[in-house]
Chains A and B, each alone.
Chain A
């Protein structure tokens, strides 16, 4: 388990010192995180990484999980999809059941804390206890909120506005609300297997295992096999490039084997790639973090040609490895890439192909983009910045002004 001082060589001594100064101001305050699952999913992953570091900083941070049955989670799954804009049924009975489960949890849970930090929609109605408990309540939204279905949004809004603040991951998820809204982007952990430094031998080994030739240019997209990641569009862009420029294409990612749509996408991708020995379609099992890390590090150019995206942390992962990245201007990606400064933003297959050619043929410019991209991630998207934002958020609950002298 990492300690906060382990981040000094990566994030810098002054950054870690500032975290300690902030954490000291929270002495005596307890912060209780509540979400709906202890394992699996992005929220659990973030809390698993972050809580030990907060505790190491001396912050009394705790984590509880609400209980729910199959029916509850089926409803919350539909709510999740409706928030992404999908036309799925969420009935009045469903919402009543949802609130009942929240109330049962609220009655059984120990919510005695100074700050209640509630993650995502599943436990959102716990805030009904604010009336009798008081304290500070913050709702943390981790999901894409760009086009929510109005009926589900209206239902959630009634709860969000009872909180002291709501936290979103990207500006596009913000909307008019009567409570403070805070922007806290997700982060990458530079010490994790997915992002730590690798030796050339480790990278060679992974490439050799899959038959990828490190002596020729490698264009890579890492993402689960999902239509929204447009893997077929990536192959089409590669084919345009390949007419005049030699390169290989790696499409690597995981996906649940019980997800029928994921398997359909994988089939489509394999069909599209058929007959080209320079396209590598790699369906990686869970826990392939070192492999993903190595493939990113071996790449000449990394793509993220998503049609829709939450935050798109694979972009941050590639930039952290100083790779030139070409990505779609969707979701949180424009936060990570300033076009032509720290990467390239595109909107079409042809535009993506144009920039792949440019970057393969202008390695000096490509390298500058990668170096700037790494600096940008270092300054803005490491876990230490994420912790700093959380500490500032907690402190901000006790002040009204824009400028706060601590």
Chain B
């Protein structure tokens, strides 16, 4: 029998790095050099702050390049980075660096500079993880708690634990795997949580668990 599932929540404090970019080249320099927490923040901020929107706005890099520099083609490449494929933040960073290097190499001159006041400001975040009193000993309790926990808690177990904590899998998949629900664990692991609102994600997970447990 596996251990009970202890729900946690996570809360972020946003930090400013005092560093900004006005061109693609300055953005590339920043992406290379800022801490991993900053890359995580800029690729996940919209998920948290706009978690009700579908389709969601893309990551900060793509949004800035499209909206502030008017480079729709570069923005599209950055927006389509498939975050769910990456299990380590530095691998994700490397993908952004690769794309930006490629576009810079392809066109050496006449890069736009953003207007004053529209610079890209590098930020980062400190993440606080707090255990909640909610503990699930079985699937029924799991579903009951999952239905009412905050989006912060849902976010932690699905996104933060997998990539930020570099556990490779989301916590729900790990728990069901340990309980012997291998198919459900695989379904939870395969699922792309980046293209759905957090409330949609909650309902999707509840639906998946119900279907597999009934099976």
Contacts and interface: CB of A to CB of B under 8 A. Distances in A.
Interface of A: 12, 14-15, 17-18, 21-22, 146, 168, 171-172, 174-177, 180-184, 329-330, 334, 338-339, 341-342, 372, 375-376, 379-380, 388-389, 392-393, 395-396, 399, 402-406
Nearest to A175: B18
Given A180-B15, A183-B16, A329-B118, 10 more contacts: A14-B152, A171-B121, A174-B16, A174-B18, A338-B46, A341-B50, A372-B52, A375-B52, A379-B52, A404-B128
B94 interface: no
Interface string B98-121: 000000000000000000011101
A376 B49 contact: yes
Given A146-B117, A181-B18, A379-B51, A14 B128 contact: no
Q: Interface centre among B16, B37, B52, by most A CB within 10 Å?
A: B16
Contacts of B129: 403-406
A329 B119 CA distance: 12
Interface stretch (B6-14, B69-77, B172-180): B6-14
Interface of B: 9, 11-19, 35, 37, 46, 49-53, 57, 63, 67, 117-119, 121, 123-132, 148-150, 152-153, 164-165
B123 A171 contact: yes
A18 B150 contact: yes
Given A171-B16, A180-B15, A396 B126 contact: yes
A249 B19 CA distance: 41
Contact of A372 (B53, B121, B132, B164): B53
B157 to A, nearest CB: 14
Nearest to A168: B16
Contacts of B17: 174, 181
26 contacts: A12-B150, A14-B153, A21-B130, A22-B130, A176-B18, A181-B18, A182-B14, A182-B15, A183-B14, A183-B16, A338-B57, A339-B67, A341-B53, A341-B57, A372-B52, A375-B52, A375-B53, A376-B49, A379-B50, A379-B52, A392-B12, A392-B128, A402-B126, A403-B127, A403-B165, A405-B129
Contacts of A18: 9, 11, 130, 150, 152
Contact of A388 (B11, B148, B153, B165): B11
Given A18-B150, A376-B50, A183 B123 contact: yes
A392 B10 CA distance: 11
A200 to B, nearest CB: 26
